């Protein structure tokens, strides 16, 4: 077995947004990672009718290194892998491989960062914001977080609490389909556009942009940043396929 392979037990599973689950696993002794990294979770899907009977998917860690659990979050879809995830009961074990991934903040340079998340793409940035608050990091972080409705916004209350406790972290959440929502919303509306990005980077000197979310959203935002004159080497991106 690879030294990067671990068997971990599920502690609990919680619904954190509409059709969105967070799975809390035990943290192996000595396991270390950087905020923004992912693990590969291997599941037995034999009972779901899918082939092959075991499948491995990459899931970004929503938990921070300072936390005692490994937490992954995912949208629920009608696939064998997602059905197998939903069936997991506390005490069930899975194998994980990792960590891996390069969507991480530089530990050497405290350049400001603008984090742009769509939907479940929030997971790497939840980890970053939690760890930054824990370390009382001086790095300026602004998070632009877009969802259709407040009901769909995973970790929104936690991020609002982090903003209240960390003067270096600013959250701009925006909703695109409030007409379909049953909840009140007093925040921003509409998609990520140049105006919202200009608001996010106000007062920031030479920020780095980090993008995570559905591939179409990430691609469109990348092109928008380029049109705004942001250099390619100042943009990091990761598309979340089917999650």
Q: Residue 174 pLDDT more than 70? A: yes
pLDDT of residue 118: 96
Domain span at residue 70 reads 5-100
* Confidence band, pLDDT 50/70/90 cuts, at residue 107: confident
Do 209 and 119 sit in the same domain of this protein?
yes
The answer to whether 224 and 193 have CB atoms below 8 angstroms apart is yes
**Residue 18 is encoded by which pair of tokens?**
């509409």
Q: What is the pLDDT of residues 177-234, one digit of tens each?
A: 999 999 999 999 999 999 999 999 998 999 999 999 999 999 999 999 999 999 999 9
Residue 107 counted as domain residue: no
Last residue of a domain, one of 41, 67, 100: 100
> For the residues 14-39, what does the mean pLDDT come to?
96
CATH number reported for the structural domain that contains residue 216 in this entry: 3.40.50.80
CATH number reported for the structural domain that contains residue 89 in this entry: 2.40.30.10
How does the average pLDDT of the chain come out, rounded?
92
DSSP 165-229: H-TTEEEEEEES-GGG-SS---SEES---HHHHHHHTTT-SS-EEEEEE-HHHHHHHHHHHHHTT
pLDDT of residue 3: 56
> For the residues 72-101, what does the mean pLDDT come to?
92
Do 130 and 54 sit in the same domain of this protein?
no
* Whole-number Cα distances in Å, 154 to 94, 125, 206: 24, 12, 29
- Chain-centre distance for alpha carbon 225: 20
| Distance separating alpha carbons of residues 125 and 108, to the nearest angstrom | 18
Q: What is the pLDDT of residues 115-154, one digit of tens each?
A: 999 999 999 999 999 999 999 999 999 999 999 999 999 9
* Confidence band, pLDDT 50/70/90 cuts, at residue 53: low
> For the residues 86-114, what does the mean pLDDT come to?
92
Q: Residue 242 pLDDT more than 60? A: no
- DSSP reduced 3-state for 243: coil
> For the residues 6-34, what does the mean pLDDT come to?
96
Q: Residue 54 pLDDT more than 90? A: no
In the chain, the number of structural domains is: 2
Tell me which residue has tokens 């059709």. Answer: 19
Do 234 and 127 sit in the same domain of this protein?
yes
* Whole-number Cα distances in Å, 75 to 106, 112, 125, 194: 28, 30, 16, 28
Do 121 and 213 sit in the same domain of this protein?
yes
């Amino acid at each position: 077995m690879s030294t990067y392979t671990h068997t971990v037990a599920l502690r609990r599973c919680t619904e954190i947004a509409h059709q969105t689950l967070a799975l809390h696993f035990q943290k192996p002794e000595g396991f270390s990672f950087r905020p923004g990294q992912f693990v590969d979770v291997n599941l037995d899907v034999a009972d779901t009718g899918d082939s092959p009977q075991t499948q491995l998917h990459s899931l970004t860690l929503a938990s921070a290194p300072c936390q005692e659990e490994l937490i992954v979050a995912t949208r629920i879809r009608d696939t064998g892998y997602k059905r197998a995830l939903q069936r997991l009961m506390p005490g069930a074990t899975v194998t994980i491989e990792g960590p891996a991934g390069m969507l991480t903040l530089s530990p050497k340079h405290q350049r400001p960062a603008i984090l742009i998340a769509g939907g479940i793409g929030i997971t790497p940035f939840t980890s970053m914001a939690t760890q930054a608050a824990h370390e009382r990091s001086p790095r300026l972080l602004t998070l632009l977080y877009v969802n259709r409705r407040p009901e769909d916004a995973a970790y929104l209350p936690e991020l609002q609490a982090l903003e209240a406790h960390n003067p270096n972290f600013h959250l701009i959440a925006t909703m695109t389909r409030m007409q379909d929502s049953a909840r009140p919303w007093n925040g921003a509306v509409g998609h990520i556009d140049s105006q919202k990005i200009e608001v996010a980077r106000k007062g920031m000197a030479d920020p780095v942009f980090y993008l995570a979310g559905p591939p179409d959203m990430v691609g469109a935002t990348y092109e928008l940043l380029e049109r705004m004159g942001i250099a390619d080497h100042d943009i990091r991106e990761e598309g979340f396929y089917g999650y």
